[in-house]
Structure 1
């Protein structure tokens, strides 16, 4: 094996060819390089190589990336490449062959890092850096006023225009010229002048930080990479920079897109707020006008009602006064007739008495006192009944408005007022046969209850033996009681014309008729043909209409019992601000036939499943 002496070309322009001065004594770096060549000659089998060896940076360049070797490997044909470069080359090539001599390999060679060449390349780079630092330390201090000075200038230091990351040196425009000319230097990374280039050296191994670990996000030298065995995660700094710069551009583009979307959303939201303000103002004005018109209509109806009642009263009084005057005249005539009769009776002339008595016995014509009656109770009762019905309907409408306003007001969590939210608290309800009235029939699974015209004899016989049985109300309770929780269940009532549904406290009255008061311990909705009432106030409708499937929701801690039309998902009525002190049981009352045929059952149905 023979060595061909290559032409030496330095990358540090500090020799006489750049400075124009006589050749100086060898520097410390040059002496180290000579020692390195001596070490090479001692390891070589050809002793005549040591005297003629001359090495330059071109010998440490990869022919693929044209950069200094990074983890160099040798192919079977004897050529050297970076491990990553030859790997990518073979991955993309159809044949496994050498990029230089084109020798084809039958199987892909298993390559290992050539530690000898890797060490030479690292030492060469280190000597270059050390040489530049030593040469800079020998120069007299000078300052051109630039922030970063050239590390190569020997006399007056000129300002640096670029810094080389591979050379770890800053150059002025004069000494930067080889990086534009030399093939081995053109691949170096040039950046704006940097002051702290030493920070780019590995503190542990004093080698250039040329690699980047994707897994740990740290900079590494080639020694760090070998020691950590991070071959699958390590890439050159330039590649990592390009990748991260691409990622940064993608992130920047995404950020710009997100900013644009949010700015558009801000504009749209502001426009919506402004439109909502206009719509809300118009709605307030319209609602105020409508409610004011309704209030004015109510006041007008009130005035008309008062006027009609006063006029009717005045006419009745005038009619009564006329009848009283007629009766008083009749009384005067009768008194006069009685006077004449007493005169005849008091006289002693019998002949005259007999002659005048027949005429005196004929009483004057008078009005029939029974033909007139001043009983205004029936008329007033009719007016009160009609007014009470109208007021009840109006009150039911107002209650519905208030309930909807409460739902929209935001004073409660909006999700707490939706049927979907309430159905999440469903419970399994079964009927307690021991509480059922004798005229109620329960299904075998205790999910249905119906009214029967005949008594269940065995239950009637034991009626007074069990204190739990309802004796007057056609009612039955759920078996399980609930405290300090939320629960929900649904009941199918179908076409029943009367029913009562809700919850009752555990100690609700079982014996005798139940009085309709707010303190009877039952919070239920009572349906009668076409209107809804409560067991708290008799004959006071809270809603009108019909429903086939009813949902009952109880919030024990909030003191609320609500009834929903499951088909339309609308609120029927709510008991609010209730005070519960004991367990609550579902309450069922089938009703009788007072409002027509009412023999259909009340059925406890699975929540969410239509019958």
Structure 2
């Protein structure tokens, strides 16, 4: 029986470049052997075509062909080395866990297998294994510890072991498959693929744990928010009911005062009118008597008597001055009526606004109310050209930035310490500290951009490390999805957004990004700790994901309805 320690040595079949067992081995004219992919990559990146070992230079690049003899030896070595390298670790764990592999030949009562034959693809008990110890042809077979499902580990087309992995197609291959249908693909030994994918799986597992932790934190924040919301809702209901009741009482008081004032005014007017009417009636009677005397005197024919009597008759009775009397009480009533109507009209407007707000609060999603609240803190953001990367173009009013040839400073020394030289970024002129602020940016049809806020000391000469503590809180849009700057490759929102609202609560340690058109929350950074001024951060990005020359435009707030 062959073993992994006889005939072939693993070190004889190691590629000098990758230091792993040959994958599709090729030979150079000088006689040295390499993996085809390793040698091809080496020559692609070298100024001249030469052997990596002896440095012999070839005028023409050799046409590499797989060395089938070495390839077959590698296959045999791999087959002999299977148990030592634990490629079938799942089966070994099955053995170690006490789950026995049964003999494939036993017809009646199956016995436990003691060996598995790689050539026969069969597991044998001690009785049925005996021919492998006796027959000369079977003695050359490779016997291993009992394994189940050996046929699954052999290529059904070529009857060779699956010892390679194609990264392009994500399939297991034998040497014949790799040489025939996967000649130009990225092929690696199964062990290396196993270790690499385990590393990837470990990275994804860490990412999953991070996502779980983020969601647990969000759940806790949501619970705290609901607890606070419940308390505030109770307070608003109590205070609202109390204030509205007090308003009703005040209106009732005003109503009673109005009634009393009008009634008192009417009584006074009526008393005044009654006195005036009584006086006027008395004066009318006196004037009637005087008029009668004048008519009688007028009929006197005796001139002597007329003249003597006229002196007394010309004295008119004492009467009131009518101009001193006011007859516009109804005008005063009209004035108070208009004043009351005007006040009630203002009150109705306020009540209508309050009812509208209540209805919107009741009918609209909570994000709408929250966005409307945030928009109260709008600030005027103007871009600072001294911080702009040389390849960025800013508008004269400092409200737009786009990727382009910029001011062409790359041929001159860059002396401005405020300027970004690695990221295609620019900051706002004004920094904010210990307050709330909000601004909106129109993105249009851009395929990539990055937007957020940065602390004053954010790195500008070198790349910003994409991890917590880098001093930049931003979202990054790539074609149709969003990720945060500090968590690469973790999608936090899917979809395209044309208008973005950015809200910062400095003291509350929160930064939120909204899709203004749909009043939808894109992402929030919470429980942040700020120790410096925060500046609006804009990065229009380049054309890596297609035409992306549209500008980022700082626009006035568009109130949500």
TM-score range, shorter chain: 0.3 to 0.5
**TM-score if structure 1 supplies the norm length?**
0.41
TM-score when normalising by structure 2 = 0.44
